[in-house]
Structure 1
Amino acid sequence: MSMKDDLDKARSRYAIDRRRFLVGAAGLGLSAGIVGATGSSAAADTPKRGGNLRVAILGGGSADTLDANSNVTQPDTARVLGLYEPLRRVRHGGKLENILAESMESNAAGTEWTIRLRKGVTFHDGKPLKAEDVAFTLRRVTDPAAPLVGAPELGPMDRDSFKVLDDLTLRVTMHSPFAIFDEAVADDINLGIVPVGYDPKKPVGTNAFKFESFTPGQQSVFSRYDGYWGEKAYLDTVTIIDSFASDTAAFNALQGGEIDAFAAAPLALAKQVQDGGLIKLLVSQVGQWTPFTMRVDQPPFDNPDVRKAFRLLVDRQQIIKIALSGYAEPGNDVFSLWDDAPKTFHRGRDVEQAKALLKKAGQENLTVELVTADIANGVVASAQIFARQAKDAGVTVNVRQVTPEVFFGDQYLKWPFAQDFWTLKPYLPQVALCLLPTSPYNETHWGGDKAYIDLYQQALSTIDPVKRAVIVRQLQTIDFEQGGYIIPSHNRIIDLVAQNVNGLSPGTLLALGDYDFAKIWLS
Structure 2
Amino acid sequence: MIPPEHSGRSELRRRTVLGGGLGLGLGILLAACGGRPAAAPQVNVQGPPVSGGELRVGFVGGGASDTLDGAVATNLGDIARAINLYNTLMYFDHDYTLQPMLATAATPNDDATVWTVQLREGVKFCDGRPLRPEDVIASYMRIIDPDDPKSGAASLAHLDEIAKTGENEIEFRLSVADSAFLNNFGSYSNIIVPEDFDPAAPVGTGPFMLDSFTPAMSTVMVRNPHFWGDEGPYLDEVSLLNFNDTDALINALLSNQVDAIAQIPPALVEVIGADERINILDSVTGMYMPFTMRVDREPFDDVKVRQAFRLAVDRPGMLEQVLSGRGTVGNDMFAVFGEGYPKDLPQREQDIEEAKRLLAEAGYPDGLEVELVTAPIQSGVVEAAQVFAEQAAEAGITVTINRMDLTTYWTDYLNYDFSQTFWYTRDFLGQSNAGMMPDAPFNETHWDDEEYIDLVGRIRSETDDAKRQELIGQAQEILYDRGGLIIWGFANQIDAYQSYVGGLEEDRSGVPLSGFQLHKVWIGEVR
Cα distance, 1:51 vs. partner? 2.0
Identity of aligned residues (%): 38
What is the match of residue 227 of structure 2? Answer: 228
Q: Aligned AA for 1:413? A: L
Q: Does 1:347 align with 2:386?
A: no
What is the match of residue 96 of structure 1? Answer: 98
Cα distance, 1:508 vs. partner? 2.3
Distance between the aligned counterparts of 1:404 and 1:42, measured in 2? 42
What is the match of residue 10 of structure 2? Answer: none
Q: How does 1:468-487 map to 2 (within 5 A)?
A: 468-487=468-487
What is the match of residue 446 of structure 2? Answer: 445
TM-aligned CA distance change 1:342 to 1:478, over 3 Å: closer
Q: Does 1:218 align with 2:217?
A: yes
Q: How does 1:355-374 map to 2 (within 5 A)?
A: 355-363=356-364, 364-374=366-376
Cα distance, 1:167 vs. partner? 3.6
Conservation of the 8 A alpha-carbon contact between 2:143 and 2:149: yes
Distance between the aligned counterparts of 1:462 and 1:415, measured in 2? 35
Distance between the aligned counterparts of 1:330 and 1:215, measured in 2? 40
Cα distance, 1:405 vs. partner? 2.5
Cα distance, 1:417 vs. partner? 1.4
What is the match of residue 321 of structure 1? Answer: 320
What is the match of residue 308 of structure 1? Answer: 307
TM-aligned CA distance change 1:92 to 1:249, over 3 Å: closer
Q: How does 1:482-497 map to 2 (within 5 A)?
A: 482-497=482-497
Distance between the aligned counterparts of 1:302 and 1:201, measured in 2? 46
Cα distance, 1:42 vs. partner? 6.6
| SS state at 1:287 partner | coil
Cα distance, 1:147 vs. partner? 2.6
Q: Does 1:521 align with 2:516?
A: no
What is the match of residue 396 of structure 1? Answer: 398
What count of residue pairs does the alignment treat as equivalent? Answer: 482
What is the match of residue 254 of structure 1? Answer: 253
Deviations 1:275-306 (A, max 9, x none): 56221111111221111111222222222221
Conservation of the 8 A alpha-carbon contact between 1:66 and 1:76: yes
| SS state at 1:213 partner | strand
Distance between the aligned counterparts of 2:208 and 2:515, measured in 1? 15
What is the match of residue 13 of structure 1? Answer: none
| SS state at 1:286 partner | coil
What is the match of residue 334 of structure 2? Answer: 335
Cα distance, 1:342 vs. partner? 5.8
Conservation of the 8 A alpha-carbon contact between 1:323 and 1:381: yes
Deviations 1:48-78 (A, max 9, x none): 2222211111232222222222222233222
Distance between the aligned counterparts of 2:167 and 2:268, measured in 1? 50
Bigger shift: 352-361 or 72-81?
72-81
| SS state at 1:273 partner | helix
Deviations 1:232-254 (A, max 9, x none): 31111111112x22211111111
Distance between the aligned counterparts of 2:49 and 2:202, measured in 1? 29
TM-score, with structure 1 as normaliser: 0.88
Conservation of the 8 A alpha-carbon contact between 1:41 and 1:503: no
TM-aligned CA distance change 1:199 to 1:295, over 3 Å: farther
Structure 1 residue runs without a partner (length 5+): 1-36
Q: Does 1:205 align with 2:207?
A: no
What is the match of residue 82 of structure 1? Answer: 84
Cα distance, 1:45 vs. partner? 4.8
Distance between the aligned counterparts of 1:140 and 1:156, measured in 2? 15
Distance between the aligned counterparts of 1:220 and 1:420, measured in 2? 28
TM-aligned CA distance change 1:332 to 1:156, over 3 Å: same
Conservation of the 8 A alpha-carbon contact between 1:207 and 1:228: yes
Q: Aligned AA for 2:286? A: G
Bigger shift: 276-285 or 429-438?
276-285
What is the match of residue 414 of structure 2? Answer: 413
Deviations 1:109-164 (A, max 9, x none): 21222111001111222221111121112222222333322223223321xx3221
What is the match of residue 297 of structure 2? Answer: 298
Q: Aligned AA for 1:484? A: G
| SS state at 1:153 partner | helix
Q: Aligned AA for 1:193? A: I
TM-aligned CA distance change 1:484 to 1:433, over 3 Å: same
Distance between the aligned counterparts of 1:428 and 1:162, measured in 2? 21
What is the match of residue 272 of structure 1? Answer: 271
Cα distance, 1:382 vs. partner? 0.8
Distance between the aligned counterparts of 1:414 and 1:148, measured in 2? 22
TM-score, with structure 2 as normaliser: 0.87
What is the match of residue 505 of structure 2? Answer: 505
Bigger shift: 329-338 or 71-80?
71-80
Conservation of the 8 A alpha-carbon contact between 1:68 and 1:192: yes
Deviations 1:377-420 (A, max 9, x none): 21111110000001001111111222223222x21322221111
Conservation of the 8 A alpha-carbon contact between 2:292 and 2:420: yes
Cα distance, 1:357 vs. partner? 1.4
Q: Aligned AA for 2:151? A: V
What is the match of residue 180 of structure 1? Answer: 180
Cα distance, 1:343 vs. partner? 1.7
Bigger shift: 427-436 or 341-350?
341-350
Cα distance, 1:200 vs. partner? 2.2
Distance between the aligned counterparts of 2:43 and 2:450, measured in 1? 50
TM-aligned CA distance change 1:223 to 1:183, over 3 Å: same
Deviations 1:311-342 (A, max 9, x none): 11111111111110110110011012123636
What is the match of residue 36 of structure 2? Answer: none
Q: How does 1:25-36 map to 2 (within 5 A)?
A: none
TM-aligned CA distance change 1:176 to 1:414, over 3 Å: same
Q: Does 1:285 align with 2:284?
A: yes
Distance between the aligned counterparts of 1:252 and 1:406, measured in 2? 29
